[in-house]
Chains A and B, each alone.
Chain A
Amino acid sequence: MTTNVRNEPTPQQIADEKIYRTFGLTDEEYDKVVQLMGRKPNYVETGIYSVMWSEHCSYKSSRPILKKFPTQAPHVLQGPGENAGIIDIGDNLAVSFKIESHNHPSAIEPYQGAATGVGGIIRDVFTMGARPIALLNSLRFGEIDGADNAHNRYLFGNVVAGIAGYGNCIGIPTVGGEVVFDDRYKYNPLVNAMCVGLLTHDEIAKGTASGVGNPVLAVGARTGRDGIHGATFASTEDPHSKERSAVQVGDPFMEKLLLEACLELIATGAVVGIQDMGAAGLTSSSSEMAARAGSGLELDMLKVPRREEGMTPYELMLSESQERMLVVMEKGKEHIAEEIFRKWNLEATVIGKVTDDGKLRLTEGDEVVAEIEVTTLVDDAPVYHRPSARPAYLDETLSFDPASIALPENFTETLHTLLGTPTIASKEYVYSQYDYMVRTSTVVRPGSDAAVVAIRGTRKALAMSTDGNGRYVYLNPRRGGQHAIAEAARNVVCSGGKPLAVTDCLNYSSPEKPEIFYQFEESCAGMSEACTALATPVISGNVSLYNQTNDLDIYPTPIIGMVGLVEDLDHITTQEFKQAGNRILLVGPSDTAGLGGSEYLRVVHGQIAGDAPALDLNVEKALQTAVLTAIQEGRIRAAHDLAEGGLAVALSESCIGGKLGATIELNSTQRLDEVLFGEAGSRILVEVAPEQLSGVEALFAKAGVSSTVLGTVGGDRLEIRVNGEAVISDAVTHLESTWRGAIPCLMK
């Protein structure tokens, strides 16, 4: 630590010139480092502390809140804290899944930003020993219409292409997701990627570095100078002010090799611990693995395989080159890794060993270039209890009076407006670019409420969905958080699955603003309440803060990835109407829909106002249980959650998918636009064969869940009459052309 031949600043210069600030450390944080070390850190040590204490790695603003999530249940085999969570689905089978953001990189370089987001989340899942079987995503962009929005179209087009490029090549089907367009995201698009993997209980691997003397191997791609300080960069405001070189470049073919080699290696049983070198690369993987085991690590920087000569320990430790893993093997079994990786044309190189002194010690040959107590990087990372204040805008949004809004003159036209809104319109433009069928297990393809993937050799399947409505959270953070969980679970139920657990990706603006921290705190509290009510614990997740540019904050956008179990393939249910003559029921309260927070209010009236839609978690739980029971008893032909655009849009979607019309008769004392386009939780549209109707109604009545017969499937038109008066009437093919054509037309 005495020599300094690399022209790096000395510890004294780092202190005097406050160079640590350029790495993102505050004066207070730097002082804490000095105090913990008992000396001034050198250049590489300063770099290591700065990334480990970045928001991205340390969760320093969010940790006190995240601790409050319910994470326990008998079926949870691995909760938060590992590379990904794991749940039990019976028969010795388990499912590992996690969602993660790649927002900041995607704002700068959308193709590679999105691609490497997919690559990172896949690694998180296969390091657990799981075979990845499905990918999902959740995306947010600014509006894509008009000449002014060419950049948003560029971001949208390239993010989708990047996700496709990576997932298609590696051969994991992208089976589901959602895309929302709103100018709140125009500078800060959101790119959240989720991966789901399957494993048996005995295949579970962990990210721990235990066993003194065990060898530590760097496997996969070599380390280059790309993505240095990516984690720090993701923890700051305005990604556009940063350099493109902080964005990594993905190589899905390399990842495919790494995936196969790692799963083959884990299957040998000679692996002690394995972890992805993701954000903060070798730094975070080594220190987190040591921290979990309470051990130390000694790594020789000269042994790290590299892409170019002359790389310094600083660069090697902070590089975020993709497709790399850190593996701890049982001593004497290094050759097993070397042989397997050679077969896949990859390198596995011993770069160090596990120690018992609790230190992360980096050497260059015999020279020690850094020495840090591991616990100070992980456990002693700063924790901030950020001030929280109820946002002032809430007074204004809550004072919204529906009476100030004129009723549309022609509801059929309004329905077309909504069906042609990119957020509601068909996302075929997006998912037709994803290979959603590879592995031949996708039994409900993209476009229905939740995707369903069959588990070969069993009658079981997994239902999975990503959901989150940032506008609801903006208007009522607590209830908005509840909605995110409830809707994700409802989608899983509509597909015939029992919701089991949650992974969350929490996208917000700067937590240093009290109003933003209030959104964060309150929405997480709402999510916790819903998780508890629906018995779906949080098993993994990720936080992305500082999604703001030029004072434009994104909507607080918690995205929920929900996974559920379909007990039998016969329970699989989709949203499209199946047969003329079948009856259509609205299950759930029929009078709670309001205009607050609705897509209708935003698109037709240009207002973001009102309270978030109504939601009662007890009603929600009863509804989901009852609908799932009816599905499992074989009584339901189609089920569709009522979401953006309300009843009229949901009916249209079920008609379009089934190429069938429907005749609907409603009675209501509410405003017509509330009835047709208003939004509320706890509402599911179901199709029932006439002979099943009385049984289904009795089932719902017994469960205390209200249900209303709306009408009948049939013909080739959607006809909606309210209080005897025809209000919507159009050919399904006409509705379909609006809905299907909207995004392709805008992207031409």
Chain B
Amino acid sequence: MKFAVLVFPGSNCDIDAVKAVEDVLQQPVDTVWHTTSDLSEYDCIIVPGGFSYGDYLRCGAMASLSPVMEAVKVEAAKGKFIVGICNGFQILTETGLLPGALRHNDTMQFRCDITPLVVENADTPFTREYSKGDVINIPIAHGEGNYIADEETLARLNSNNQVVFRYHECNPNGSVERIAGICNEAGNVLGMMPHPERAVSDLLGSADGKAFFTSILKAWEARVHDHQRA
């Protein structure tokens, strides 16, 4: 399975995502510069955290117009696995690949912590190695992670099981319905503010993010297997 980690000039969690893929999955992973316009060789594309182009405007607004995001849209439409973490989540909402938006935290402060999340949907390519209702400890580090969507969108997210993670017994940023991560209707595009790539060893304070990565590999293997049978 081949992974791409996108690199915008202001990405700063790109290396962490690469390390997580290498350490947890031992799968090939490339860093891909933001001017790239073809991502067809990759099975999973990670849009990492950071400050893509400085984000002095709305977070992710400029990145959503970059060449590489056009390529991401193409691969998303093919059903490839797309993961947006933190700034990557912001970019995916700005791109329109995921509904809703991320506003300034309600505290108006950046917040870094290890936060408990509830796995709301364990039937996605990103969570199949968890069980529904699992509480996992995953770090957050963001100033603009306050998820918002209109009522109609929220109702749709809930009825389609698109809310993948919620903050558990806390709400570090004011997100509506404590939403921490969502996927698209097809289930192949996921965005989340918490950082599973920062929770892949006990030394870092939590290893609960490992199953996030193994889920993706298992999902891909299952898909390849199905293709072969068909």
- Measured in the bound complex, the distance between the Cα atoms of B32 and A456 in whole Å is 22
A345, B9: Cβ atoms closer than 8 Å: yes
* Contact A440 to B109, CB < 8 A, known contacts A253-B54, A256-B12: no
- Complex contact B109–A435 (CB within 8 A): no
Q: Which residues of B contact A256 (CB under 8 A)?
A: 9-10, 12, 51
Q: By the criterion of a CB under 8 Å from any partner CB, how many residues of chain A are at the interface?
A: 32
CB atoms of A443 and B141 under 8 A apart: no
Partner of B204, one of A170, A253, A433, A440: A440
Q: A164-B110, A439-B16 are in contact. Are A169 and B204 (CB under 8 A)?
A: no
Whether A445 sits at the interface, judged by CB under 8 Å, is yes
Interface positions, chain B 185-227, Cβ under 8 Å from A, are 195, 197-198, 200, 203-205
Asked if A169 and B51 make an inter-chain contact with CB atoms under 8 angstroms apart, the answer reads: yes
- CB–CB A253/B112 < 8 A: no
B112 A439 Cβ-Cβ under 8 A: no
Q: Are A170 and B12 in contact (CB under 8 A)?
A: yes
Complex-state Cα separation, A439 to B112, whole angstroms: 14
Question: In this assembly, does B113 line the interface, its C-beta being within 8 Å of a C-beta of chain A?
Answer: yes
Q: Contact between A433 and B53 (Cβ–Cβ < 8 Å)? A: no
A432 within 8 A of B: yes
| A171: Cβ under 8 A from any B Cβ | yes
The answer to whether the Cβ of A326 comes within 8 Å of any Cβ in the partner chain is no
A445 touches B16 (CB 8 A): no
Contact call B13/A171, Cβ cutoff below 8 A: yes
Q: Is A436 an interface residue (CB 8 A)?
A: yes
Question: Does A312 interact with chain B (Cβ within 8 Å)?
Answer: no
Cβ-based interface call for A154 (8 A): no
Contact of B10 with A440 in the complex, beta carbons under 8 Å: no
User: In the complex the two chains form, is A432's CB within 8 Å of B16's CB?
Assistant: no
Q: Which residues of B contact A437 (CB under 8 A)?
A: 112, 139, 141, 195, 198, 204-205
Q: Decide yes or no whether A732 CB sits under 8 A from chain B.
A: no
Does A185 reach chain B (CB closer than 8 Å)? no
Complex CA–CA separation, A169 to B144 (angstroms) = 13
**Is the pair A253, B110 in contact by a Cβ cutoff of 8 Å?**
no
Query: Are B112 and A435 in contact (CB-based, < 8 A)?
Result: yes
Contacts of B203 in A (CB 8 A): 443, 454, 569
| Chain A residues near B51 (CB-CB < 8 A) | 169, 171, 252-253, 256
Question: Using Cβ atoms and an 8 Å threshold, which residues of chain A touch B143?
Answer: 168
Docked pose: A626 CA to B195 CA in angstroms: 39
B109 touches A433 (CB 8 A): yes
Residue A257 is within 8 A (CB to CB) of chain B in the complex: yes
User: At the interface, yes or no: B168 with Cβ under 8 Å from chain A?
Assistant: no
Which B residues are in CB contact (< 8 Å) with A168? Answer: 110, 141, 143
Per-residue CB contact flags for chain B residues 72-108 toward chain A (1 = under 8 Å, else 0) read 0000000000000000000000000000000000000
A435 near B19 (CB under 8 angstroms)?
A: no
Q: Closest CB-CB distance, B110 to chain A, in whole Å?
A: 5
What residue of chain A has the Cβ atom nearest to residue B201's Cβ? A440
CB distance from A431 to the nearest CB of B (A): 7
Chain B CB count within 10 A is highest, among A164, A168, A251, A344, for A168
**Distance A561 CA – B9 CA, assembled complex (angstroms):** 31
Candidate in B16, B110, B111, B200 with the most chain A CB atoms within 10 angstroms: B110
Q: CB-CB < 8 A to A432: which residues of B?
A: 111-113
Q: A170-B12, A256-B51, A456-B19 are in contact. Are A442 and B204 (CB under 8 A)?
A: yes
Whether A161 sits at the interface, judged by CB under 8 Å, is: yes
Residues of B close to A456: CB separation below 8 A: 19
A345 to B62, CA, bound (A): 15
| A438 interface hit (Cβ, 8 Å) | yes
What distance in Å separates the Cβ of A571 from its nearest Cβ neighbour in chain B? 13
Inter-chain contact A440/B19, CB cutoff 8 Å: yes
- In Å, the complex CA distance between A161 and B195 comes to 22
CB-nearest residue of chain B to A171: B12
A344: chain B residues within 8 A (beta carbon) = 9
Complex Cα distance, B203 from A345, in Å, reads 37
Q: Is the CB of A438 within 8 A of B13?
A: yes
Q: Are B109 and A161 in contact (CB under 8 A)?
A: yes
* B12 engages A433 (CB within 8 Å): no
Q: Which of B15, B16, B54, B198 contacts A169 (CB 8 A)?
A: B54
Residue B50 lies at the interface, judged by CB distance under 8 Å to chain A = yes
Asked if A141 lies at the interface with its beta carbon under 8 angstroms from chain B, I say no
Tell me if A434 counts as interface (CB < 8 A to partner B): yes
A158 to B: closest C-beta gap in Å: 12
Contact: B10 with A169, CB < 8 Å? Answer: yes
CB 8 Å contact bits of A451-493 with B (1 = contact, 0 = none): 0001010000000000000000000000000000000000000
Q: Shortest Cβ distance from A255 into chain B, in angstroms?
A: 10
Q: Are B50 and A171 interface neighbours, CB within 8 A?
A: yes
Interface pair B110/A433, CB less than 8 Å apart: yes
A647, B55: Cα distance in complex, Å: 46
Name the B residues within 8 Å of A436 (CB-CB): 112
Query: Do B16 and A253 have beta carbons less than 8 Å apart?
Result: no
Contact indicator per residue, chain A 161-180, by CB within 8 Å of chain B (1) or not (0): 10011001111000000000
Write out the residue numbers on chain A whose beta carbons fall within 8 Å of the beta carbon of B16.
438-440
Given A168-B110, A169-B54, A569-B203, are A438 and B9 neighbors across the interface (CB < 8 Å)?
no
Interface residues of A in 119-150 (CB under 8 A from B): none
Contact with A along B152-167 (1 / 0, CB 8 A): 0000000000000000
Interface string of B36-59 (1 = CB under 8 A from A): 000000000000011101111000
CA separation between A662 and B50, bound complex, in Å?
42
Q: Is the CB of A434 within 8 A of B112?
A: yes
* A491-526 vs B, Cβ < 8 Å mask (1 yes, 0 no): 000000000000000000000000000000000000
Q: Give the distance in Å from the alpha carbon of A440 to the alpha carbon of B51 in the complex.
A: 17
Distance between A226 CB and nearest chain B CB, rounded to angstroms: 17
Q: How far is the CB of A377 from chain B (nearest CB, A)?
A: 36
Chain A residue with minimal CB distance to B12?
A171
Q: What separation, in Å, do the CA atoms of A252 and B15 have in the docked complex?
A: 19
Most chain A CB inside 10 Å of its own CB: which residue of B12, B51, B54, B195:
B12
Q: Report if A433-B19 is in contact (Cβ < 8 Å); known contacts: A168-B143, A253-B51.
A: no
Interface hits, A651-688 → B, CB 8 Å = none
Contact of B12 with A438 in the complex, beta carbons under 8 Å: yes
Query: Separation in Å of the A300 CB from the closest CB of chain B?
Result: 30
Complex contacts, B197 vs chain A, CB 8 Å: 440
**Cross-interface CB contact of B141 among A257, A345, A438, cutoff 8 Å:** A438
Question: B112-130 interface mask toward A, CB cutoff 8 Å, 1 = contact, 0 = none?
Answer: 1100000000000000000
Q: Which B-chain residue is minimally distant from A436 (CB atoms)?
A: B112
Of all chain A residues, the one with the shortest Cβ separation from B33 is A343
Distance (Å) between the CB of A147 and the closest chain B CB?
22
What A residues does B13 contact at CB under 8 A? 171, 438
In the complex, A168 Cα to B56 Cα: how many Å? Answer: 13
- Which residues of chain B are within 8 angstroms of A438 by Cβ–Cβ distance? 12-13, 16, 49, 141, 198
A252–B141 Cα distance when bound, in Å, is 17
Q: Which chain A residues in 244-285 approach chain B with CB under 8 Å?
A: 251-254, 256-257, 260
- Set of chain A residues within 8 Å of B10, measured between Cβ atoms: 169, 253, 256-257
Within the assembled complex, what's the spacing in Å between the Cα atoms of A171 and B195?
14
Pick the residue among A260, A434, A440 that contacts B198 (CB under 8 A).
A440
Q: How far apart sit A321 and B160, CA to CA, in the bound complex (Å)?
A: 52
Q: Would you give the shortest CB distance from A333 to chain B, in whole angstroms?
A: 24
Q: A344-B9, A432-B112 are in contact. List 5 more A-B contacts (CB 8 A).
A: A161-B110, A169-B54, A440-B20, A440-B204, A443-B204
Identify 23 residue pairs between A and B in the complex whose beta-carbon atoms are under 8 Å apart, listed by A's number.
Answer: A161-B110, A164-B110, A168-B141, A169-B12, A171-B51, A251-B54, A252-B51, A253-B53, A253-B54, A253-B56, A345-B9, A431-B112, A432-B113, A433-B109, A437-B139, A438-B12, A438-B13, A438-B198, A439-B16, A440-B16, A454-B203, A456-B19, A569-B203
- 10 nearest A-B residue pairs (beta carbon): A171-B12, A253-B54, A435-B141, A440-B16, A169-B51, A433-B110, A164-B110, A435-B112, A443-B203, A253-B10
